[in-house]
Structure 1
Amino acid sequence: MAVVILLYVVAEVAAVWAVSSAVGVLGTLGLLVAGAFLGSWLARREGARAARAFMTTARSGRSPVNEVTDGMLIGLGGLLIMVPGFLSDIAGLLMLLPPTRGVIRRAWVRRAERRMAMAGQSRVIVVDSEVVPDDKSHPVIEGR
């Protein structure tokens, strides 16, 4: 995990350096501030839309899985927009824009469904507050 964070910081510094070399320091600062303002406005707008969609879906009695997932992605996108740097701004904007958010949401839900299916395959038994795997390689200890 530390390596991933280090690689992210190096990539973010490289991106800021490259943009600064192309447009100058003031231009780079202007782009970062403009991205933060645009992102916060977009996060507020999309968050309100997601809240309205959630309420509509909940009132109709349908499962609001997509609306809840959209809300989480909008929150994460808004957080990434507030982190200084161009790479985090791009990732945040991708989560805030409805077409790309839909792609990210479908991938996230598919991954969650696969993980839940895998978790359902491995059963455990709790014996006197001790978790014991439910397979034949671990015999249940009797007399405890």
Structure 2
Amino acid sequence: MMMRKRLWLLLLLIPLAELYGFIWVSHWIGAGKTILLIILTTLIGAAMMQFEGRKVIADAKHEMNRGQVPGRKMLDGLCVFFGGSLLLIPGFLTDIIGFTLVFPLTRALYRRFLLKWLEKKMKNGSITFRRF
């Protein structure tokens, strides 16, 4: 129940923050340049997502071929997927978060957070893994 409230709050606050960002940047550099900047960040983000996504998949395949579990690469893949999705949404806030998720140097911060979150969920039994 609490998670739904948080989701609704995010669905309300994120567009408001993006709208504020559009207005602020358009006052600063002009409306035309703001629209061009949004289109440019979307295109650059889509290209980064493709490049990094292919790299993560290739690295995961390489680890599996060596008989290793590609756990870190799976988390990287999640970060690239969510970051790329955020980059496709027009807005400056979502672009900043999306770029940091896709960019390898900053992705490590999110990966560390995700790993700790997964460990916590597995310890308290919220997430279980079953063999088929």
Q: Give the number of aligned pairs.
A: 120
User: Aligned Cα RMSD in Å?
Assistant: 1.0
| Equivalent of residue 74 in structure 1, options 80, 84, 107 | 80
For 1:73, the aligned partner's letter is C
Look up the match of 1:19: 25
What does residue 126 of structure 1 align with? Answer: none
Identify unmatched segments of 5+ residues in structure 1: 121-144
Confirm whether residue 119 of structure 1 aligns to residue 116 of structure 2. Answer: no
Indicate which of 69, 93, 100 corresponds to 1:94.
100
C-alpha distance in structure 2 between counterparts of 1:78 and 1:11, whole Å: 19
**TM-score when normalising by structure 1:** 0.80
d(CA) in 2 for partners of 1:25 and 1:15?
Answer: 12
Q: CA deviation at 1:110?
A: 0.8
Is residue 44 of structure 2 the alignment partner of residue 38 of structure 1?
yes
* CA distance in 2: counterparts of 1:51 and 1:119, whole angstroms: 29
CA distance in 2, matches of 1:84, 1:14: 13
The percent of aligned pairs where both chains have the same amino acid is 28
In our comparison, the structure showing a higher alpha carbon Rg is: 1
Structure with more helix by fraction: 2
1:10 aligns with 2:21: no
Partner Cα separation in structure 2 for residue 75 and residue 4 of structure 1: 19
Aligned-pair CA distance for 1:4: 2.1
TM score, norm. by length of structure 2: 0.87
Q: Secondary structure at the match of 1:44?
A: helix
